[in-house]
Amino acid sequence: MTGDNDERALVTEWREILAIHARTACEIDRELHPFGLCASDFEVLDVLAGGQADDGGCTFRVQELADRVHLSQSALSRLVARLEKDGLVDRGVCSEDRRGVRVGLTEAGRDRYEKARPGHRAVLERMLPRD
Whole-angstrom distance, CA of residue 7 vs CA of residue 57 = 45
Cβ-proximal residues to 76 (8 Å cutoff; 6+ apart), any chain: 44, 62, 65, 66, 69
What's the pLDDT tens digit per position in 56-99? Answer: 556 788 888 888 998 988 899 899 999 999 999 998 876 666 56
pLDDT at site 64: 86
* pLDDT higher than threshold 70 for residue 127: yes
Nearest C-alpha neighbor of 28 from the set 108, 117, 129: 117
Nearest to 117, CA basis, from 20, 50, 26, 19: 50
pLDDT of residue 53: 53
CA distance 103 to 90: 6
Structural contact between residues 120 and 32, judged by C-beta atoms closer than 8 angstroms: yes
Indicate whether this model's pTM tops 0.75. Answer: yes
The three state secondary structure string of the chain is CHHHHHHHHHHHHHHHHHHHHHHHHHHHHHHHHHHCCCHHHHHHHHHHHHCCCCCCCCCEEHHHHHHHHCCCHHHHHHHHHHHHHCCCEEEEECCCCCCCEEEEECHHHHHHHHHHHHHHHHHHHHHCCCC
Mean pLDDT, range 28-55, rounded to an integer:
89
The predicted structure's pLDDT at residue 117:
98
Q: What is the pLDDT of residue 97?
A: 62
**Is 70 exceeded by the pLDDT of residue 52?**
no
